[in-house]
Amino acid sequence: MVVKRTRSKVFASLLAVSIAFGSVGSVSADSPNGKSSYAHDQKVVARVDANRAIEHVRYLSEEIGTRPGGLEAEKRSADYIANTLRGYGYDVEYQYFPVADQYIANVAFNDGSTWEMGAAPNGKISTEAVEGQVLFIEGGTSLTDFPSEAEGKIIVMPRASSTSDYRKQVDNAVQAGAKGVILQSLVGSRGNYGSTFNPSLLTTYDIPVYGAAFIQGEWLKEQLEEGPVEISLTAKQYSNLQSVNVIATKAPKTKRKNAKQVILGAHHDSVVGAFGANDNASGVGLMLELARVFKGYNTEKELKFIAFGAEERGLLGSRYYVNQLTQEQKDNIEAVFVPDMVATNYDKAKNLYAMTPDGSTNLVTDSTMAAGARLGNSDILPGTFGSSDHVPFHQAGIPAALFIWMGIDSWDPLVYHIEKVYHTPQDTIADNISAEKMKSALDIIGAGLFSTVRKDIPGLYK
Ligand code: BES
Ligand code: ZN
């Protein structure tokens, strides 16, 4: 693998690390038993299987589908993860916590297919279906944009960018006699295609008002080119929700009180309407595959594999997990590895970043940078980013880092590139997963993790 861009500072530090740990592929004696770290790395690299990890991605994103925090599908995801971990021989616990209500819409087509969207809490929220023909209208902030045939139709409009303007669009559609309104989201907050959303309205309406992902609007347009499109709208307010963290524990080989602990944790929920193949079935798939490989190894530290719930609702699962720890338990955690979006096929996402919220380095970033250097894998780079489950750990003073593929322009570190299909219905295996990226992430994170937990005693390794 080659460093494709010139990042003199980072490249220099990579070189420094590779000098410290011996050159690429060498088997120099750098561990107490005379066995090299590189040889230990091979116990991970030779055994991790990207296709097994992607099979978990397939189950979560295709068999289960979208997994909004607190909903039934997220529970099914938890059960799948728990059963898999139990199958590998781990003890598994569930940790439940409350999450806020969700307003979710279901759009059904005559062929039986359905799409998930966000519903406006101030529109009609009912399981009693509103059925009608779709009419796509450009504009909508002026009443004159609506032809007389708008009467009795389900009107779809590209969403005006400001909230006050899209409220006008809804109001005008209602005045024009719409049976239902769907606003098509155009752009996302991270340069991605628009995601589903819950339209925020000031007036209460007795018709459904939904927020569609950009691609759902495009797909509706394509269908309309073929002829009339009939859809059926239902929505539900989901209340008293609980999300769930799934926690598997691997005891250290030699049981002793207060053995240090290392965590590998990935969120298993997705945003509404998104299949979450890369975000973040990929992180869960990587976690499960490393759990499988590590089961047979003796480790000196206690190792926890955790699937966090409701990350997309505000890092809720990881925050809950950290909040219920005692100070003594927090002090005992040496490192938290958080894979989140570890297998995109997006060509501009050239590096696997080990990100901390403030750019500081710690055991997690150091061990993975060192692993990359030993393996001759230059994909890994350090970086600064929050927005995932490493944040609550970091805020509690626990060393943690997020692993994510992205591109960062060397001339402006504030500009970053992630896949356009992030948080959309296009985050699928077909459109957004690369087996090569998954393998590289498995190798680097797996070897880094192993170097922090393994027991360096001769004879224990076959
Ligand atoms: N996987 C993303 C985090 C991410 C995306 C990091 C792009 C870096 C670049 C994560 O699942 C996410 O979307 N997080 C939310 C966090 C929020 C709900 C607190 C986000 O960033 O919007
Ligand atoms: Zn994520």
Which of the four pLDDT bands, split at 50, 70 and 90, describes residue 6? very low
Interval 75-86: pLDDT, tens: 999 999 999 999
**Position 325 pLDDT exceeds 90:** yes
Phi, psi of 109 (to 5 degrees): -105, 165
387 in contact with ligand 1, CB cutoff 6 A: yes
**Position 33 pLDDT exceeds 70:** no
Predicted TM-score of the model (pTM): 0.92
Instruction: Please give the number of the atom of ligand 1 that sits closest to the Cα of 313.
Output: 18
Q: Angle 202-203-209 (CA atoms, 0-180°, nearest 5)?
A: 95
135 in contact with ligand 1, CB cutoff 6 A: no
What pLDDT is stored for residue 10 in this prediction?
A: 36
Residue among 439, 434, 418, 460 nearest 375 (CA): 439
290 in contact with ligand 1, CB cutoff 6 A: no
Output the CA 388–ligand 1 centroid distance in Å.
6
Output the CA 69–ligand 2 centroid distance in Å.
12
What pLDDT is stored for residue 7 in this prediction?
A: 34
191 in contact with ligand 1, CB cutoff 6 A: no
Contact yes or no for 130/209 (Cβ under 8 A): no
Which residues lie below 8 Å from residue 349, measured CB to CB, with a gap of 6+?
Answer: 405, 406, 407, 417, 418, 419, 437
Pocket test for ligand 1, best of 197, 387, 395, 414 (most atoms within 8 A of CB): 387
Ligand 1: which residue has its CA nearest to atom 21? 387
CA distances to 53, 244, 278 from 58, rounded to whole Å, are 9, 21, 10
What pLDDT is stored for residue 413 in this prediction?
A: 79
Interval 236-277: pLDDT, tens: 999 999 999 999 999 998 877 778 999 999 999 999 999 999
Output the CA 387–ligand 1 centroid distance in Å.
4
Output the CA 423–ligand 1 centroid distance in Å.
9
Question: Is the bond preceding 280 in cis, omega lying within 30 degrees of 0?
Answer: yes
What pLDDT is stored for residue 144 in this prediction?
A: 98
What pLDDT is stored for residue 35 in this prediction?
A: 59
What pLDDT is stored for residue 11 in this prediction?
A: 35
Ligand 1: which residue has its CA nearest to atom 22? 387
